[in-house]
Structure 1
């Protein structure tokens, strides 16, 4: 039985926060979810009045100061990929991040081809 002052912590991980707490109970992104290999970047805008960003969203926004994929964001922020998708969709809704168009990505392979390759690899 827990005592009133007791905190749930992982031995090596520190305080345990459930993914649905980070996304405020949401399991799906609002709007379109960013693909695993999409390139996202911060727009340089600041959040407007009345926009509150969580600590995780601020961290993702900081990491997006340079072009980065959602998969890399999940790894660097130590968050599940689906949580990153939801938080990125929120940041996109506030126009704080955007997905780079392929024409802005010199030397990058077509994301549709990469997606098809990933789909085929998953089938194996």
Structure 2
């Protein structure tokens, strides 16, 4: 990586020409390292992605950190999922999160008092 020139290796080279990941990953999918190391060395880009997965991080965040298109990042992550080095989890949707009606009523009451 050269900051002035940009990435010196084309993204399709990083993913070995693959454009489809073997795992279903969305941009908001959370990824985290399992602590298990790949048996075979996958490459410097895989190592960089794995290093960033110390805590839960979305695919979009990882893509930004490694300066690669999201689809290439997904291919790298799917390789790491396949060898057991990372685990994935879909984010919780708003519908899945239970809300407490009393809290919502208190917030509404507070907003009405301010207006």
Aligned to 1:84: 73
Q: Unpaired runs of 5+ in structure 1?
A: 1-8, 103-108, 114-124
Question: Structure 2 residue aligned with 1:19, among 11, 30, 34?
Answer: 11
TM-score by length of 1: 0.68
CA contact (8 A) 1:37 1:111 kept: no
Query: Quick check: which has more Rg, 1 or 2?
Result: 2
Aligned to 1:39: 30
How many pairs are equivalent? Answer: 96
In the TM superposition, residue 111 of structure 1 has moved relative to its aligned partner by 8.0
- SS of the aligned residue for 2:57 comes to coil
Aligned to 2:111: none
Q: CA RMSD in A?
A: 2.5
TM-score by length of 2: 0.73
Q: Unpaired runs of 5+ in structure 2?
A: 97-115
Aligned to 2:103: none
Return the alpha-carbon distance in structure 1 between the equivalents of residues 95 and 10 of structure 2: 32
Deviations 1:97-118 (A, max 9, x none): 011365xxxxxx41899xxxxx
